[in-house]
Amino acid sequence: MTLPSGNYTLSVNGGKAEQLLSSDNTVDAAQKTLGIEVQPNAMVEDRDVNADPQTMASIAHSGSGIAMDGAYFDVLASHLPVVDRTENADRSSRIIQRPERCPNTNRHWAFFAVFIILLTAEWILRKRGGLV
């Protein structure tokens, strides 16, 4: 059921429920109703904000892993694999190499400019789409 956007108030009316509420002196008027605000459209980033624990456990189990709440992070540490080998490698791409080399200075600035342009374009598209 889809409700139009706006403010709604839910309350219990009629019969036995009303009789029970009127006989209970501990319940004040604020507890007898519930106010709800319906948003016009949920943004993509606002949808499914609560993780489904059963689905997460199913995904973790299928990958031979475990799923748990954040409060049990110390248990998670015992399930992490032990890394017995480390490897250090000094690698650089052709676009960004050592900054002390003069010919690459222009490449660094070009890469930075392209990065800023793409970041700005992404923000503009998200702003037009109502995601920002």
Query: Does residue 107 sit in helix, strand or coil?
Result: helix
As to burial, measured by CB atoms within 10 angstroms (0-12 exposed, 13-18 middle, 19+ buried), residue 51 is exposed
**Token pair of 104 as six digits:** 């690459």
Give me the amino acid identity at 75: V
pLDDT value at position 27? 54
pLDDT digits (tens, 9 = 90+) for 55-88: 778 888 888 888 887 777 788 778 777 778 878 7
pLDDT value at position 101? 56
pLDDT value at position 43? 61
Question: Which residues does 40 contact at the CB level (< 8 Å), separation at least 6?
Answer: 5
pLDDT value at position 61? 82
CA distance 58 to 65: 9
**Token pair of 112 as six digits:** 């930075």
CA distance 12 to 67: 39
pLDDT value at position 120? 96
Q: Which residues in the chain show pLDDT less than 50?
A: 29-30, 49
CA distance 31 to 15: 18
- The reported pTM is 0.28
CA distance 7 to 4: 9
CA distance 11 to 33: 5
